[in-house]
Structure 1
Amino acid sequence: MESISSAASSSRRPASFFTQANALLRKNLTFQKRNLKTNIGIVAFPIFICVLIVLIQQVINNELNKDKFQCGCQGGDCGLQYSTLDQVDTCPISSPPEWSALIQVPRPQYRAVRTDFSQSADLPDESCRASQSCPAAVLLTGGNRSLAQSLAQSLFLSSSSALNFSDYPSSLSNVILGTDTPTENTQFIEPAFVSDRPFYVVQPQCTTNATSPISFKNANISIELGLECVQGLTLWRDNSSLINDELFKGYRQGNSERKANEFIAAYDFLNSDENGFNLNIWYNSTYNNDTGFVEVALVRVPRTVNAASNAYLKFRKGAGAMVMFDFVKEMPKTGTDRRFDFSSLLGPLFFTWIIELLFPVILTYVVYERQQKLRIMMKMHGLKDGPYWFISYIYFFSLSSVYMICFVIFGSIIGLKFFRLNDYSIQVVFYFIYINLQIALAFLIAPFFSAVKTATVFGYNYVFGSGLLGEFLLRFFIEDTSFPRGWILVMELVPGFSLYRGLFEFSQYSFSGDSMGTSGMKWGDLDDSQNGMKAVLIIMFVEWLVLLVVAFYLDQLIGGGIRKDPFFFLRYFQKKSSVSQRKPSFQRQGSKVFVEMERPDVSQEREVVEQLLLESSFSHAVISDNLKKVYPGRDGNPDKLAVRGLSLALPNGECFGMLGPNGAGKTTFINMMIGLITPTSGTAYVQGVDIRTNMDEIYTSMGVCPQHDLLWETLTGREHLLFYGRLKNLKGAALLQAVDESLKSVNLFYGGVGDKQAGKYSGGMKRRLSVAISLIGDPKVVYMDEPSTGLDPASRNNLWNVVKNAKRDRAIILTTHSMEEAEVLCDRLGIFVDGGFQCIGNPKELKARYGGSYVFTMTTSVNEEEEVESLVRQLSPSANKIYHISGTQKFELPKQEVRIADVFRAVEIAKSKFTIHAWGLADTTLEDVFIKVAKGAQSLNVLS
């Protein structure tokens, strides 16, 4: 290890931001390379979904190519139809038929009459509904009442009872022909001519309620229609507000008849006069069908306009002047290919799952590092939050970007219209913002999970739950135009819903673009009020920035290690305090009573600490000042005092050993010193820096070998040392030399062991690697928690040599259960029982202080045990028998009562009197001291 120290001597300065970032990036890339199977599986999932969509699309295309979807009627005459309903969307219609222009007339039972909510005197009595003879009313208003009423007299054309319709359709333009048939999207057929409802001839007066049926040909098809006369009643209202109110009250809601009080139309002639014609029209949309796209009732409005225009012409030019409105006709239609893009139809749901699949991957990776304490292990070796966040974010962003690029490119290559029709620049911006938001979300919720399994379950539930809720809840609200848009924006604050909304918009544009043979979404489409993409982009961008800041804040509070004060960020705006300012006040209530109960050597150590704290500078590597840890009691149990006001001063070049039974608090003390848990009270200084406020600075000069090996299973031993060496600012040849020497020192160099993955190491090999990690980079303070656990005797002896060489220029705190190890390695020892030191000193001092006796052992026959005890009493009257079984007895002989020569002489004389099978005289061992002190302390605690 000497070569390691010399190689690292030039790297005393902490590693820079970019040096640490480089180390973490190299480690992540190596880790990623070792997870090739997992990566292939992740990338294969979107490929599988895309291929599945293509296969389903092929099945659909094959189905659409069947005969029943081909243009032309099958099996003979189609009547007025050019094709079946399955064919009409794609079949050509070069010469659409001519249809007479119609006016919308309310059905007899819905025509306006006097009711409880409409008491106008000029409306007919409600009794006419029983005989279905109610007139169809038209409301009038305008700035010139006399003009309006004059025009109203010419609004409906009069005709004789015998109408000649042989000249279709021009003959039908001489009357106001109406219908109460609902409008609908048909195969270029006016639905009134193929329904069983009668036609209405609207006239000023009806001599009879019915007229003769009419017959004519249209598109070589004979049509017979029944005609009924209906009186057109014109009613004046003083202003448009009255008209609006009356129309609203009488509007029929769906199939409800409770408020049905309908009018043909309403005219507001505004400022019309002899010199100008200005008109507003209200039309009846009750019979409009629910297409969700256009107001198809508008096709009946032209005849309403024509009636008013002819009335004004007659007013200006005389009774013979009129504009002939012969017919209406659809635009010719060419044949198109039948298209049904399955990727656009199901894209929002499937692609939401595909994109969100990275969320549980990122989440579990971050939680894994927390669960295995790898994050805090990296911090303990100097990795600061800045490089960690920067590289981790860039790392996950790069993975997400590669994933999305492969997804989009593959989808485009195999022909998915979802990608090919929409502008790629919009897609890039959308996916870029979302993957950043997804990474920020993973970082945000990671601190709330302590187990990878729990995080994994949550992650996949979130993925599938947000996709299903988006498809079957959010989509319903988006398509429901009556649902408040503001609540949709609130729902889109959930990242999964914002992703679904963006994909939904892409799918709508690609689906319609494919059907119409046009392109999908362009940047100009974002200004469309019905397009939610702009709002989604703004929400995701703002949320990304907000979540990233909140995630960093929560990471500092509950992310592991020593938790910071909630207002920790305020200290960045203050100047750094000096060392003297960082020292705590040395006034402790009740400490005097506690000190009086301590043993002299422990009290002396406390006094040394107090004296050091009063000095202007710290001369010791580690100073623990009354450090205490209390775990709050739960379920009715009392509080657990794990560490009882521990004070310790450790200079450079000293190895301090902590001995104690299991549960004594040794590991708790170590964990407080390395930042895994927060002290309840008191503090400690490492190289003059307070552990409560500046652990990040302490980590740059600290090495740790934890009780349990904290290693990446897929990284090799060499890769671990390279990573931690770079964190300690080792570079180039010095780094490679330090790594090789570290592997050699712990016997992991030869035979390629250092290049095997740590997951394949035995327990002893992992311990040796952990020791090598703790010593690389020349740390000034090293904590080793039971470093030799699980090692064979040869490896343990080799490890002891490593530690002895390493302690020359650094302070080491070591916990162990091996008395031999403590005696070989430690300059001073502290026996730790029930959270506090019972004694402190070097091994010889402790054996002399607590082991002032020899252990005399003799084995004879059972009949001669009394002679043995008599012999011992002659040597030492106050001897204490501590063991007795089957002729073997052990005695403690106070050193002040016997001499070793006298014991040997007495045994030689005894041999001539009785048979001695075996005997021995031993000095007190450190194990004896440990047992004696531990039992004494535990007995005292029981009595107290």
Structure 2
Amino acid sequence: MEEMDSADSPHRRASSFATQSNALMRKNLAFQKRNIKTNICTVSFPILLCAILVIIQKLVDSQLDKPENKCGCRCIDTNGNGRCDQVCGVKYSTKDQIYACAIPEPPEWPPLLQVPRPEFRAAKENSPKESCRKTQTCPVTVLFTGKNRAFATEAMQIFFSNIQKNPNTKLGNLSTDLSQFILGSDTDTRLLNFAETAFFSGRPLYNVQSNCDTSSLTPFNIPALEIFDASENAYDFLNSTTNNLNVDIWYNSTYMKNFFFGGPPSLVRLVRSVNLVTNAFLEIVKGSSVKIPFKFIKEMPKPSSQVSLDFSSLLGPLFFTWIVELIFPILLTYLVYEKEKSLRIMMKMHGLGDIPYWIISYGYFLLISIIYVLLFVLFGSLIGLKYFALNDHSIQFVFLFTYINLQIAVSFLLSTIFSKVKTAQGVLIIILELIPAFSLFRGLYEFGQYSFIGNYMGTSGMQWKNLNDSENGMKEVLIIMGVEWCLLLLFSYYLDKLISVGNRSEKNPLLFLQLLRNKIKLTFTRQNQQGQDSKVVIEVEKPDVIRERELVEKLLADHSTDFAIISDKLQKVYPGQDGNPDKLAVQGLSLALQHGECFGFLGPNGAGKTSFISMMIGLLSPTSGNAYVYGHSIQNQMDKIYSSMGVCPQHDMLWEMLTGREHLLFYGRLKNLKAHDLLQAVEDSLRSVNLFFDGVGDKQAGKYSGGMKRRLSVAISLIGDPKVVYLDEPSTGLDPSSRNQLWKVVKDAKRNRAIILTTHSMEEAEFLCDRLGIFVGGSMQCIGNPKQLKARYGGSYVFTLTTSQSDEQQVENLAHLISPNAKKTYHLSGTQKFEIPKQEVKISDVFQAVEEAKKRFTIQAWGLADTSLEDVFIKVAKGADSFDV
């Protein structure tokens, strides 16, 4: 069927992307404004945790800021004037205080060999020599090897002979003259580094000499020796020759400590070992006259420092993971809330496209997430947490920006799985307990480590150049989160299109993976049942239903677009489950509605009315057949239909935090209303449904009564002048006064639009509807205006009499006296009802017969009424049910 393209097309121009985006963003901001308490609590949480960290840091600093953790000081009269001046330095400090002292000009010290303490020296197991450990007399062991064994042996012979050369030199300058001796020390360099206490304290300072005949030196396979850790040094000459020196020096690591918690790092005295082996090589190549003198060593200058422990860097990864993830359940709850309340579908049916919804929702979530983390980082920096102050802020921003995007993508993904907020929150708690956010924690941990080291060493924290550090996992974390962000976002959008209601997901070519079994079953069912079902329908169809179908066929053949709605043999079959047969909800419904007509659907519960409307508004796809709204097919043109469609669902779909006015402003913008037209339409809508006065329209919808919510839903369906409106039991829950007022609103509205209305109120149907259709068992039983239906199915009067129970037989005799074909339809406690064919009696005859009967027995009450629409409905419904049986 061709769609209308003329200038007078009843379809309102669909709102643009910018208009839809503006409407959705304004709605989101209004919703956010209503959640001010939640927002305050959310922002207060990171402030509270940061404040706790600051308090902990202050307590730790107060404990560390004690004299024993500072450089030692003494009060000395330096000027001889009797005044005491405080002087601080190494010589006034204890062993624990010396770390904090400034050393602007480190002293020069003779180069020493680092040798293991006696208890750590090499001794083969189960040998007499092993007893030397007990007596602490074991000599130092030096190992060597190399591919060129001869060269390695020659070099080591010179090495040991150099050790034994101790000239009798008068000591003048301590650091220079002592450097000519080969001295060794077993001092733990972790404590004093190169400052050798043996020069002052009497601790052993070894004059290193060879303890073996150098001519009998034998190379060893160094890595295989179990005693290697107890040896002083080991030399692997690799491929060294007289033309090339290539040596690996293996050193004893007895005193190496973790400087994070054990103080400064151990400085192993390898430089003297390197110097000795280098001079041995030079003597082989150039002779004994050529050597490299090694006069002294000294430390780098050191400023004064204080023992500190940065708790924000240590505990930050744990605390800040909680803080950043706090926004995640908020995003997920928001998405699932819209799904649970069917608000997403409601927005879609009023013209909001998928692309604007995704872009604006994503942008909105990204905006509040950025504001949240920026406030968090800003506050942490302002209160002085080293975690934020030392690490490069740009890396922090890139990391957190990547993660919050990944977090939003996961929120969209999970929202396709859950349908209720409570379920989502419960499962989310379990997931967060079982599966922590490893990527977030790893990134925060890296920041913490770099800021901790930076604070301890007096340097900066993580910088961009540090991403190339071999032990820095930030680069991998950023890559993983970036890839996950993109993939999860695309997958979430696909799932949303695939399984969300109203998206025509059955048309997606990949859905066969999930529905293949049902498709095969449905195909078989249609092939075997459709012919039979259609035949049955044709056999029981009434003339008015047949005429309606013929009208639809004619309109389709003529490609007519004069009618607002044309339903062409629309059918819906629900596949049977658990061995049950398929459910035929709508059986080939044909219907044509003109512009300005209100059509009422009457039928018992489960008759198929909701299934029909759900197909018309895009919630369900028809199994077969089609329908057209002003020429647009519901099969593949729902996006065009949405722009000119209004829906009042059976259950109110409202944001509890938004006011009635904000609801109408949002949906009005979706219907392309702007500026003055929008404001005027909202005012008129509120007045029409009696929500304008006393500020009711500016109250939150969650505070409305059921009737007020119903009136607001009707106002939403009519705003923006939609040309097709579906009202599903619009007056449910209304008091008589409000119901009558609502009827007037609907009656006025139908003048320039087509309306399909479902109701259980016969009075409502008779007042509002131009035509009615009684729907039973998935098929239309009859079509016509109320008068035609009453005339067709109600060709009798209802004669009612109430007497005492003793006179009931006389009442029955009276009814048959008036009409031999009178049929009793009701009997209870003296009250009886009879159907009397109209063609058999005159009303005057009934009055006369009753007056005469009053002379024989007492008649408490009586009445003669024409057939009501309710009687017609009951009669048709019973007839259809009896036929089905």
TM-score (norm 2): 0.85
Gaps of 5+ in 1: 1-7, 75-79, 114-124, 195-216, 255-259, 470-495, 571-583
Instruction: Return the match for 2:240 from 259, 270, 295.
Output: 270
Instruction: Return the match for 1:670 from 608, 613, 617.
Output: 613
Q: Distance in 2 between matches of 1:450 and 1:857?
A: 53
Q: Distance in 1 between matches of 2:272 and 2:163?
A: 17
Instruction: Return the match for 1:598 from 540, 554, 559.
Output: 540
Q: Could you list the per-position Cα deviations for residues 24-79 of structure 1 after superposition, in whole angstroms to 9, with x for gaps in the alignment?
A: 122111111111111111111111111111111111111111233233499xxxxx
Q: Does 1:557 align with 2:498?
A: yes
Q: Distance in 2 between matches of 1:321 and 1:704?
A: 101
Asked if the contact 1:783–1:814 (Cα under 8 Å) also holds between the matched residues in 2, the reply is yes
Moved more, 813-822 or 629-638: 629-638
For 1:783, the aligned partner's letter is Y
Q: Could you list the per-position Cα deviations for residues 661-712 of structure 1 after superposition, in whole angstroms to 9, with x for gaps in the alignment?
A: 2233322322232223343444332222222323222111110011111111
Instruction: Return the match for 2:843 from 897, 900, 907.
Output: 900
Instruction: Return the match for 2:144 from 121, 124, 139.
Output: 139
Q: Could you list the per-position Cα deviations for residues 874-921 of structure 1 after superposition, in whole angstroms to 9, with x for gaps in the alignment?
A: 221121122234433221112232222322232233334444332211
Q: How far apart are 1:292 and its partner, in Å?
A: 8.0
Instruction: Return the match for 1:219 from 180, 200, 205.
Output: 200
Distance 1:307 1:126, change over 3 A: farther
Asked if the contact 2:586–2:612 (Cα under 8 Å) also holds between the matched residues in 1, the reply is yes
Q: Could you list the per-position Cα deviations for residues 440-495 of structure 1 after superposition, in whole angstroms to 9, with x for gaps in the alignment?
A: 221222111111122223445555666xx4xxxxxxxxxxxxxxxxxxxxxxxxxx
Q: Distance in 2 between matches of 1:24 and 1:870?
A: 71
Q: How far apart are 1:927 and its partner, in Å?
A: 0.9
Aligned to 2:517: none
Asked if the contact 2:116–2:254 (Cα under 8 Å) also holds between the matched residues in 1, the reply is no
Q: Distance in 2 between matches of 1:70 and 1:135?
A: 38
Distance 1:535 1:135, change over 3 A: closer
Q: Distance in 1 between matches of 2:253 and 2:570?
A: 83
Aligned to 1:364: 333
Q: Distance in 2 between matches of 1:881 and 1:396?
A: 68
Aligned to 1:391: 360
Aligned to 1:55: 55
Instruction: Return the match for 1:529 from 465, 470, 494.
Output: 470
Aligned pairs for 1:77-156 within 5 A: 87-93=97-103, 95=106, 98=109, 101-102=112-113, 136=141, 138-141=143-146, 148-156=152-160
Aligned pairs for 1:151-300 within 5 A: 151-157=155-161, 185-188=190-193, 218-221=199-202, 223=204, 230-231=211-212, 246-250=221-225, 264-268=234-238, 270-272=240-242, 278-285=245-252, 287=254, 289=256, 291=258, 299-300=268-269
Moved more, 682-691 or 372-381: 682-691
Aligned to 2:662: 719
Q: Could you list the per-position Cα deviations for residues 771-796 of structure 1 after superposition, in whole angstroms to 9, with x for gaps in the alignment?
A: 11111111111111100011111111
Q: How far apart are 1:100 and its partner, in Å?
A: 5.7
Q: Could you list the per-position Cα deviations for residues 540-585 of structure 1 after superposition, in whole angstroms to 9, with x for gaps in the alignment?
A: 3333333322222221112332442574799xxxxxxxxxxxxx99
Aligned pairs for 1:289-688 within 5 A: 289=256, 291=258, 299-312=268-281, 314-315=283-284, 325=294, 328-460=297-429, 469=436, 496-565=437-506, 567=508, 589-600=531-542, 601-634=544-577, 638-688=581-631
Asked if the contact 2:111–2:297 (Cα under 8 Å) also holds between the matched residues in 1, the reply is yes
Q: Distance in 1 between matches of 2:228 and 2:706?
A: 79
* RMSD of equivalent CA atoms: 4.0
Q: Distance in 2 between matches of 1:673 and 1:252?
A: 87
Aligned to 1:696: 639
Q: Distance in 2 between matches of 1:295 and 1:318?
A: 41
Q: How far apart are 1:9 and its partner, in Å?
A: 11
Asked if the contact 1:101–1:327 (Cα under 8 Å) also holds between the matched residues in 2, the reply is no
For 2:256, the aligned partner's letter is N
What secondary structure sits across from 2:366 in the alignment?
helix
Asked if the contact 1:182–1:287 (Cα under 8 Å) also holds between the matched residues in 2, the reply is no
Asked if the contact 1:306–1:325 (Cα under 8 Å) also holds between the matched residues in 2, the reply is yes
Distance 1:176 1:644, change over 3 A: farther
Gaps of 5+ in 2: 1-7, 75-89, 133-137, 512-525
Aligned to 2:766: 823
Q: How far apart are 1:659 and its partner, in Å?
A: 1.3
Distance 1:253 1:860, change over 3 A: farther
Q: Distance in 2 between matches of 1:416 and 1:463?
A: 27
What secondary structure sits across from 2:32 in the alignment?
helix
Asked if the contact 1:128–1:134 (Cα under 8 Å) also holds between the matched residues in 2, the reply is no
Aligned to 2:859: 916
Q: Does 1:760 align with 2:703?
A: yes
Q: How far apart are 1:263 and its partner, in Å?
A: 7.3
Aligned to 1:119: none
For 1:101, the aligned partner's letter is L
Asked if the contact 1:141–1:236 (Cα under 8 Å) also holds between the matched residues in 2, the reply is no
Aligned to 1:483: none
Aligned to 1:26: 26
Asked if the contact 2:183–2:206 (Cα under 8 Å) also holds between the matched residues in 1, the reply is no
Asked if the contact 1:447–1:559 (Cα under 8 Å) also holds between the matched residues in 2, the reply is yes
Q: Could you list the per-position Cα deviations for residues 570-626 of structure 1 after superposition, in whole angstroms to 9, with x for gaps in the alignment?
A: 9xxxxxxxxxxxxx99x9644542323433133443343344343434443223333
Aligned to 1:45: 45
Q: Distance in 2 between matches of 1:339 and 1:135?
A: 39
Q: Distance in 2 between matches of 1:821 and 1:709?
A: 20
Q: Distance in 2 between matches of 1:607 and 1:727?
A: 37
Asked if the contact 1:644–1:836 (Cα under 8 Å) also holds between the matched residues in 2, the reply is yes
Instruction: Return the match for 2:675 from 716, 732, 737.
Output: 732
Q: How far apart are 1:112 and its partner, in Å?
A: 10
Q: How far apart are 1:386 and its partner, in Å?
A: 2.1
For 1:539, the aligned partner's letter is I
Distance 1:904 1:235, change over 3 A: farther
Aligned to 1:786: 729
What secondary structure sits across from 2:100 in the alignment?
coil
Distance 1:18 1:150, change over 3 A: closer
Q: Distance in 2 between matches of 1:934 and 1:604?
A: 21
Q: Distance in 2 between matches of 1:300 and 1:732?
A: 82
What secondary structure sits across from 2:817 in the alignment?
helix
Distance 1:567 1:888, change over 3 A: closer
Q: How far apart are 1:314 and its partner, in Å?
A: 4.6
Asked if the contact 1:706–1:784 (Cα under 8 Å) also holds between the matched residues in 2, the reply is yes
Asked if the contact 2:659–2:701 (Cα under 8 Å) also holds between the matched residues in 1, the reply is yes
Q: Distance in 1 between matches of 2:400 and 2:429?
A: 20
Q: How far apart are 1:717 and its partner, in Å?
A: 1.6
Q: How many residues align?
A: 837
Instruction: Return the match for 2:816 from 841, 852, 873.
Output: 873
Moved more, 659-668 or 217-226: 217-226
Q: How far apart are 1:928 and its partner, in Å?
A: 1.1
What secondary structure sits across from 1:837 in the alignment?
strand
For 2:236, the aligned partner's letter is A
Moved more, 284-293 or 588-597: 284-293
What secondary structure sits across from 2:839 in the alignment?
coil
